[in-house]
Amino acid sequence: MNVVETRDLTKRYGKVAALQDCSLAIPEGHLVAVVGPNGAGKSTLLNLVVGLAAPTAGEVSVLGGVPAGSAAALDAIAFVAQDMPLYRSLSAVDMIHLTRNLNRHFDTEYARRRIDDLGIAPKRRAGKLSGGQRAQLALTLALARHPRLLVLDEPTAALDPLARHDFMAAVMTAMAEDGISVLLSSHVLAELERVADYLVLISHGQVRLDGVVEDLIGRHLLLTGPSLQARDPDWRIIQDISTSAQSHLLVEIAESSTHGVAPGWEGRPVSLEQLAMAYLRETTSPQTSLAGVAR
C-alpha cells in the first residue's frame, strides 16, 4: 500500500508554482525524509498531503487511495507543524482536553501517561515549557490520535541537539510500536541520515530524486581519478569537482552497467548527506554529462 500517492500534482499561488508536476508513490512503513532548500515546495507538498491546501492541478491520495483532506484521511493522519501550534496560555492538560474535543478519535489516557513519563507538569502552561517539552507535547497530541501516517514539518528546527535526539527517538519508538509511517521535512541532513530510509528531494517545486535510501546510495558512487582519465559512458555525472591534476566525481551508474569501477578510478560509497547536497547543487548549477547531454 502507498501511504502517499500523487500524480502530476501542482500547486500555484497566483502565477508562482510552489509545486509542479509532482508524481510520487511512497510505500508504507518508511520514515520518509523530504529535503530541499527554503522555498523548494516541501511544506506545500506536506500541506497538500494533510489536506490543508487543495491542488491547482493533479491528484493526491493517502493510505491506499483515500482522497487527501477527506474525513477518512483526517482521521488517520496526524500533523505537527514547525511552529508547534500550541495555545501558550493553556496548560498541558488543557491542551489534551482541547485536542480531544476537536477530534473524533483521541486516546486521553495515552496522552496523560506520556506527558507524565516525560516529566511535563500537567498544569504548566505551554508557553512556560522549554522548546523540547513543547515539541514533545505537540508530538503527544499527534500520537494520541493513533495515526497511520504522521506528517512532521521541520519539527526540530528550533531545538537543541539533545531535544532533537529525544524527539526523533520518540518518533522511531512510535514507528516500531504502532507501525505508523512518517513523512518528515527537515534541513538537518546529518540527522536524517541516522533515521530516514526513504528520500524525497525537492528543488524549485519539482521532485529531483526519490526512492528507498539504500537503493539510491547503491546506484551512486564517489570517484577520484586523474583529470585526464577517461570517463565511463555509463556514468551520469551529478557533481564534478576537478582540478588540473585530479577529478572528484559523484556519479549515478546506469542500471544497464555490468562492470565495476573503470580502471584508473578509485570508488567509494556515498552518504545520504553527500547525495542530497550533490543533487541540490545540480539543480542550481546544471552540468553536462560525458555524452554531451545538457542537464
**pLDDT single digits (tens) 79-130:** 998 877 799 999 999 999 999 999 999 999 999 999 999 999 999 999 999 9
Domains of the chain, by residue range, sit at 2-211, 219-284
- The neighbouring-strand residues paired with 19 are 11
The pTM of the full predicted model, rounded to 2 decimals, is: 0.87
Distance CA 91, CA 200 (A): 37
Residues 6+ apart with CB under 8 A from 169: none
Q: Tell me whether strands 66-67 and 16-27 are parallel, antiparallel or unpaired.
A: unpaired
At the second CATH level, the architecture of 2-211 is 3-Layer(aba) Sandwich (3.40)
What's the pLDDT tens digit per position in 221-260?
999 998 878 888 888 999 998 888 899 999 998 876 656 6
